[in-house]
Amino acid sequence: MQTIKAALVAALAIVALPVSLLSAAAGESDSLALTISIDGAIGPATASYVKAAFATAAKRHAEVVILRLNTPGGLATSMRDIIAEVMASPIPVIGYVAPPGAHAASAGTYILYATHIAAMAPGTNLGAATPVQIGGSVPGLPDQSGKDKPKDAMTAKITNDAVAFIRSLAELRGRNADWAEKAVREAASLSAGAALQEHVIDLVAPDQVQLLRQVDGRTVELPGGKTRRLTTRDAVIAPIKPGWISRLLAVITDPNVALILLLVGVYGLIFEFVSPGAVAPGVVGTICLLLGLYALNVLPVNYAGLALMLVGIMLLAIEAFNPTVVLGVGGVIAFVFGAAMLFNVQAPGFHLSLWVVGIAAAMFIGLILAVFRSLWRARKGPVRVGAQAMRGLTAEVLDWSENQGHVFTQGERWQARGVDTFKPGELVEVASVMDLTLMVRRRPALTGKGDAS
């Protein structure tokens, strides 16, 4: 009996051992670290992706969010949207400039300062946070002669606003505010090691696993005065990838793609109006035009440039229906100047390529040449429509009484008049057209035959 009991206890222990190991493993893996990756220029698509990713992290009850940065900067509006998400996040956010060779320049520096914990991988750098997308001069930056540039009032105003913003972030997170101001006013930059020494960042970590081990046990302050002690040593790392909406937005908000969408939309509508019933050009053109207009809505544009582009497109559309060449040339000039002025942004990743503008202008010039060629051929060729085109045509007499009747020509029944008397079935020649009546006469070559009959 004792032997049976011992055997049962041993069996239960064997069964319980894997279960306990699985439970322990599950307990170790309860902590979740989600990674949001910002690669490339920061724009509306990036802000949309980050906002959706923070919502996903909240639903999955993540322990921390790792905001991995590798960016040359971007639009100030999108940067502020991302910082607002970081500041309002109920989940601690770790800013991490990685992998080695990456950088967090311009807008990336502001975002890194906003995170609860700032970290960098070896071989990375940050800084150069001057708001260059505003254009104009920046106070404190020397020109090629070595002298300071003139201090423009608007530039000084925006620069001072940027300084106040990044200093407020530095004071909130307890980081070096003086160097932050230097990064804005003098476009200063730091390597990972120097940033750690200057107390710009909190730590340097070679990878995300080491990063989570180093931040384990740290206490961070969350919105509402709450604090949280991080337990990230054995956290499971999982990436959050952008959804299809963010990927689509990333494509169409490229200024070059937006311009191409506008062109395709305009050409599609022109072809649909020229050849009604084709359907496909109209549908494709409408979709592309709406996508292009949406991109213009979320991008900072110069409205004078947009107006010039619209005037140019309107002139080219008129040229397609009423060829004059002059309107077409004026349309091309207005379009090129408008396209060059359209995106008045100097932020990295949001430049309009001169190649795209040149190709678009070449397409419009090709349209003008095609219209001009058709116009030249039409003027040199025989008249195909109107009263002049009816002269000399052969018509068949349907009925005749005295000096008027009806004839059939060009597949239609016409009223006709003439000085001669004709018989039904006789072939006559159209001499002229008066209103909707054909003036007919005997065919010269058939005069003798007609008299003999």
Q: Which residues are catalytic?
A: 106, 157
Torsion of the alpha carbons at 354, 357, 360 and 365, rounded to the nearest 10:
-90
Q: Compute the half-sphere exposure of residue 88: CA atoms within 13 Å on the CB side of its CA.
A: 10
Query: What is the layout of strands, in order, in the sheet containing 93-97?
Result: 203-204, 117-120, 93-97, 64-70, 32-39, 236-239
CB-based contacts of 230, cutoff 8 Å, min separation 6: 63, 64, 92, 215, 216, 217, 218, 219, 220
Distance CA 108, CA 163 (A): 15
E-assigned strand segments in 354-450: 394-401, 404-409, 412-417, 427-434, 437-442
Q: Distance between terminal CA atoms of the chain?
A: 139
Distance CA 342, CA 344 (A): 6
The alpha carbon of residue 294 and the mean position of all alpha carbons in its chain are separated, in whole angstroms, by 8
Distance CA 63, CA 31 (A): 6
Q: Which has the closest alpha carbon to 98: 125, 69, 72, 76?
A: 69
Burial of 7 (0-12, 13-18, 19+ CB in 10 A): exposed
